[in-house]
Structure 1
Amino acid sequence: MKSSLAKNAIYKVILNVFNLLVPLFVGPYVAGLLTPELYGVYNRVYAEFQVFFIVGAFGIYNYGVREISKVRNDKKRFGSIFTSLFVIGILSNLLVTIFYIGYIILRGNGIDQYVYLVMIIQMVSNVFYIEFVNEAVENYRFIAIKTILIRILYLISIFAFVRKPTDVIIYSVVVSMTVLLNNLASFFYLKRQYKFDFTNVKILCHIMPLIVNLIFTNVELLYGQLDKVLLGAFVSDIAVTEYTLPTTLAGMLSTIPLSLITVAIPRLSKYIGENDRESYINTLKSTCRTYMAILIPMSFGVMVLAKEIMWLYSKDVYTYTYPVLICAALSRIVFGYQSIMTYLVMYVNSMEKKLTVLLFQGGVINCILNFSLILVGNFSALSALITTMIAVLVFIFLSLRYAKNNLDLKGIFITKEIIGYFIIGICFIPISIGVNLLRLGYIWNIVIEIVLCVGLYGFYMIYTKDPLLDVVFRKFRM
């Protein structure tokens, strides 16, 4: 039975709201409990491990969503692609794990080595990460229920087993085992419904598209990982935490509107496969407008409350990093447009080659800027994030121009509604300044600013009769 895009988005939003709430409980607890030195070690090791983890994943997830979405009604082709990608995943993760073990031998020592070793559990779990099948067939109900149950278990385990400032190894084990359990649950669930077809396994034809997917589907993560790896190598482990905490916070908040992007990929791929351009344009325009209607005010809201949020989240341990959170909040808008151009425009239209070139150009710019800052002695968590934003802005500008010239996409990405969202978001700044002049303290600042900013934005949406309100009211009446 065909599920609606709105229903899929609801399941995805419920899941992402839950995924937002769990870290908001766990994050402050772990950041306040573990010593800054050990927490810095964990963040630095995890940043380095993520590079191997990403390469091991080999871009299979997003590639699998797109390719299986196109053939989900063709049982034979479905089985062939599903099995082929699973086999490729085994091979890529096995090869990368060998290199990772060699890296541990050369790099690890003391407590670092134990954290590196625990991360191998996540590399093993990568083999069983076939959730892309659930995404492709739009089975978001199972994804939501399964993930929520496992995240509850994760929450309980953190508070039950991570009890001392030195429990960084235990924390690493809990995180890694949660990833493994999540992937195994999906694997066994899918294996009951879809059988492997080893009679028609194809490897070579998928390799080049997967390499391209590996590059562009991880652009934000790879750029961010580069920042963290360089901070750990040239500044300090604590500098990695100063970068990780604010960017993770901003990233968690953006997962809610990001649901619209992820659930739209299979549907847009389907429209393109059917040569239904009108449906593609209408869905793209609606998704872009709705995404920005949520993301822009949320980003400005986090920006004006950055100091209060860092004080509350880190139990005043890392409050001083609030300038990084200000930058990270604004960067979510930049990364929002990057996600739209990457996934909903160029990727679903099979423009991988051009997309790879554009992302490579941005990556080169990011590297040059980072190493320039290192040479002049001004490399920090804040400056690293700024260089990444500049690199992604270059990518957005070039991809927008390319899409307009080759796909005739106009009046979609910058509309009067989106400009209005920006203007109201900017109005949050004088509101915050006025509230701070009252010197009421962090808690009252949070309460009053949220009430005033949400009230202003709500009034604006009603006054302008924003199209999003019609969608929301229509869904509530159904």
Structure 2
Amino acid sequence: MKKSLFKNMLYKILLNVFNLIVPILVGTYVNRALGVSSLGKVQFAESIFNYFFIFASFGVYQYGLREMSRLKNDRDKVSQLFTSLFTISFVSGIAALLFYLSFSYLGYSDKSTFPILLIFAFNFIVNIFYVEWVNEAMENYDFITVKTIIVRSIYVVLIFIMVNTPGDYHEYAILLVFSMFLNNIVSFIYIKRKIKFDFRNISIRQHIKPLFLVVIFSNANVLYTQLDRFMLGQYVSTKYVSYYVIPQQIMGIINTLLLSIIQVSIPRLSNILGENDDKSYLTLLNNISKAYFAFLFPAAVGLYLLADVGVFIYGGREFIAAAPVLSAFSFYMIILGIDFILANQIIYVKKKEHVLVRLVFLCGFLNLGLNALLLQYDLFTPVTAILTTAVSNLLLILLEYGYIRRYLKVDYHLFELGKMKYFFIALLFIPVSYLIRQYVSGPIPLFISIVGINSLLYAGILFITKDQVMKMFLDKVKSRFNK
């Protein structure tokens, strides 16, 4: 029996609302408690760790989600796939850990980041038990939501107890690892009660090539934002890593909430394609895209207009220099959202990841070249770093869209008025916000006024124009209350 896509979306939104509140609550506290210097050390060490972690996870989440969604009604095949991917994850995790420890010792054993790198090493073992892809493929969003809320609540309490001064950055790194361990082990125990290991028909070789391709395209941030962070820390200053990461975290909080709308549809899209129902696939794809754009464009424009206020509230006065970086990230958020649809909901679910790999590499190396050019002329800053990344990603989505239209022959129109109108409506926020700033001062009142008034304006326009997304949402809510 298929679970309600709308119910799954509500669970996902509830989860991401909670995940929105927690980083804001924890982030505003940790940013002030640790300060720019200590926080920069953790974030720089994390950027190094992320390079090796890519090969530890080995694309199992994205690949496993797609493949499990296609065969989730066959109990034996589910067990075989789960066993195979768990085995691969175990081997890749141990191998990545050994390379990581060697690199950390040879390159940073005499630096203050070395103890933090050792703390993050435990994540390689913890990741072996990461099976959330199974829960999402089975659409167990109720369990995921409840479990995550409990685990993250424990994490928040421990943060306030253990992290109080700039010298507590080791404790902060330990809690990051501990929260990941708790989250993964609970999910693993839950899944193991439903799916047993089956080593009789284990298959490894057939999964290696597609997994390797997934590793590359699903970790595009290695040649994009992760590259920016590493180059800032290595060649400029770890302080500038914080000026880059704080805006990235703010954008990430909002983007995660927005992606709730389309993430829950990926298993369903894969399942529909597995049944060769192209018409239903295209209908769902277009409906989900419109719903996503209806939230993405106003959120991005709002983020741009509130960049200074957002950085001040989230990071404090010490991070106010990061406001222009957040403005640049608002533009990047739109590009990132469009890429997520084109790459994950179309190209990947149609099993054309080999094409994605080529496109990602091409644009990723363009970003690397632009960063190197900026370094040579002493122009490499957090703002220019994210702008070059945005330009590279813009080229990426144009190439993806061209491939989808010309070669995949998917009748998907990205730039049609039905999708782009939300951006034009959101542009009305600019004059409205300017007027509000003439009469309202103070970060909190200004934030509430701009968000509140513009939200009412946006919702009112959608309601008056009888927008399809607004109508669909209201009809769903009304049907729930009438039951």
Kindly state the Cα deviation for residue 464 of structure 1 after the two structures are TM-superposed. Answer: 1.3
Aligned partner of 1:25 in structure 2 is 25
* Alignment correspondent of 1:217: 218
Q: Deviations over 1:48-69 (max 9, x none)?
A: 1111112210000010000111
Aligned residue for 2:88?
A: 88
Alignment of 1:263-278 (within 5 A): 263-278=264-279
Report the Cα distance in structure 1 between the residues aligned to 2:411 and 2:200, rounded to whole angstroms: 46
Distance 1:402 1:458 in 2: 35
Report if aligned partners of 1:51, 1:222 keep a CA contact under 8 Å in 2: no
Letter in 1 for 2:269: L
Runs of 4+ in 1 over 4 A off after TM superposition: none
- Per the TM alignment, residue 435 of structure 1 is displaced from its structure 2 partner at its CA by 2.4
**DSSP 3-state at the match of 1:199:** coil
Q: Are the structure 2 counterparts of residues 411 and 207 from structure 1 closer, same or farther at C-alpha, using a change threshold of 3 Å? A: closer
Q: Write the mapping of 1:241-280 to structure 2, written as runs, cut at 5 A.
A: 241-280=242-281
- Alpha-carbon shift at residue 456 of structure 1 (Å): 1.5
Residues 368-413 of structure 1 deviation map (CA, whole Å, 9 limit, x = unaligned): 1111111111011111101111111111001101101123334532
Aligned partner of 2:413 in structure 1 is 412
Corresponding residue for residue 308 of structure 1: 309
Query: Matches of 1:137 and 1:440 in 2, distance apart?
Result: 48
Q: Which amino acid aligns with 2:403?
A: Y
Q: Which moved more, 1:421-430 or 1:225-234?
A: 421-430
What TM-score results when the alignment is normalised by the length of structure 2?
0.97
Indicate whether 1:67 and 2:61 are aligned: no
> What CA distance in whole angstroms lies between the structure 2 residues aligned with 1:202 and 1:379?
47
Find the residue that maps to 2:196 and give its secondary structure: coil
Residues in 2 aligned to 1:412 and 1:11: alpha-carbon distance in whole angstroms: 29
The residue aligned with 2:122 is: 121
User: Within 2, Cα distance between the matches of 1:467 and 1:343?
Assistant: 24
Could you say which residue in structure 2 is the equivalent of 1:151? 152
Does 2:442 align with 1:441? yes
Superposition deviation, residue 160 in structure 1: 1.1
Query: What TM-score comes out, normalization by structure 1 length?
Result: 0.98
What do the CA deviations read for 1:103-135 (whole angstroms, capped 9, x no partner)? 121122353111111101211111001111111
Contact 2:70–2:274 (CA under 8 A) maintained in structure 1:
yes
Aligned residue for 2:53?
A: 53
Kept in 2: contact 1:121–1:177 (CA 8 A)? no
Aligned residue runs from structure 1 range 352-367, under 5 A: 352-367=353-368
Partner residue in 1 for 2:190: 189
Which whole-Å CA distance do the structure 1 matches of 2:389 and 2:363 have between them? 9
- Equivalent position of 1:173 in the other structure: 174
Q: Hey, what's the Cα distance between the residues in 2 that align with 1:407 and 1:99?
A: 39
Answer yes or no: is the 8 Å Cα contact 1:220–1:335 preserved in 2. Answer: no
Q: Determine the structure 2 residue equivalent to 1:331.
A: 332
Instruction: Report the Cα distance in structure 1 between the residues aligned to 2:408 and 2:36, rounded to whole angstroms.
Output: 50
Quote the sequence identity (%). Answer: 36
Cα shift at 1:171: 0.6
Which position in structure 2 is the counterpart of 1:383? 384
CA contact (8 A) 2:83 2:197 kept: yes
Q: State the alpha-carbon separation in 2 of the partners of residues 360 and 212 from structure 1.
A: 11
Give the Å deviation of 1:347. 0.2
What does the per-residue CA deviation read over 1:159-196, in whole Å, with 9 as the maximum and x for residues that have no partner? 01112221000111111100011000101111111001
Q: Aligned pair count?
A: 478
**Which segment drifts farther, 264-273 or 423-432?**
423-432
1:391 aligned counterpart, secondary structure: helix
Contact 1:231 1:240 in 2 (8 A): yes
- Deviation for aligned residue 1:302: 1.1
Assess if the C-alpha contact under 8 Å between 2:135 and 2:144 holds in 1: yes
Distance 1:188 1:60 in 2: 18
Mapped contact 1:285–1:413 kept (Cα < 8 A): no
Across the aligned residues of Structure 1 and Structure 2, the Cα RMSD in angstroms comes to: 1.3
